[in-house]
Structure formats: structure tokens, C-alpha cells
Structure 1
Amino acid sequence: MMGMLPPVGWADVATKRDLDQQRKLLELRIESTDKGNRAHFEKAMRHQLNVILGAFFSVAGVLIALLIYGPR
């Protein structure tokens, strides 16, 4: 069974420094992804707010026009 494993030497063993470097790289990738997700979310929320406010003021305008100029 052990003969089926690939040959491993001390050069293949990860050191604490290697692990720290990988951790830092992973943290940077996560932070970068998080910033991208936040930017996308904020952009989508602004768009949604603009659509909702536009619809609200359109309906309000129609209702005011009906109250002022509606059937008498």
C-alpha cells in the first residue's frame, strides 16, 4: 500500500511560513471578493431604490391629477 504513494521528501512538507503566506493570500482574495460583492450589492440597491421611488412618484402624480382634474 505504501508503495503506491508518490515519493515525498522534506521539500514537499509545508512550513509555518508557507502556511502563513497561503493564509495571507487567501485573506486578500476573500477581501477582494467581498469588496466586489459589496459594490455590486450597493449598485443593485441604488437601482432598486430609483425604480421604487420612480414608481411611487408616478402613481402619486396620477392620483393628484385625478383629484384635481378628475371626473366632476
Structure 2
Amino acid sequence: MTTINIAELPVAEKLRLMEALWDALSAQAEQAAVPAWHREVLAQRLQRLDGGTEPVTPWTQAKERIRAQVRAA
């Protein structure tokens, strides 16, 4: 494994690194312990989603919005 100083990376590279880390963690999701409070928050959000009161944005649009904000900074 290579050691890098994350603080010195440009924001765009930090985002790419974060996405890669998230992908790696998602592949091992079954092994992650989810705390009870997190399950409760998710259950509440699912109820709001089913009731149509939870605001949602497709991931592709959210990612583009984040990338545009990073480029503008």
C-alpha cells in the first residue's frame, strides 16, 4: 500500500480517492456493523421517502452538482 499525504492533494483528487474508498467499502457492506441509531434514521427516511416527503436527487445529478461546486471553488 502506498502512503500519501491526503491534505496535500487537490480537491478533485480527494473526491476521486473518496469515491474509490466508498466503492471498496460498498463491496464489503455485509461485514459492516450498523449501529441501532443509524437503523432508526434510515427507517425514518424510508418512511418519508414512501410518503413522498423526503427530498431526493439521483446520484448522477448530485455527483455532477458536487463536481461543479468543486470546479467553481
TM-score, length-scaled by structure 1: 0.30
Greater RCO, 1 or 2 (C-alpha within 8 Å, sep 6+): 2
The structure with the larger Rg is 1
**Structure in which a larger fraction of residues adopt helix:** 1
> How high is the TM-score relative to the length of structure 2?
0.30
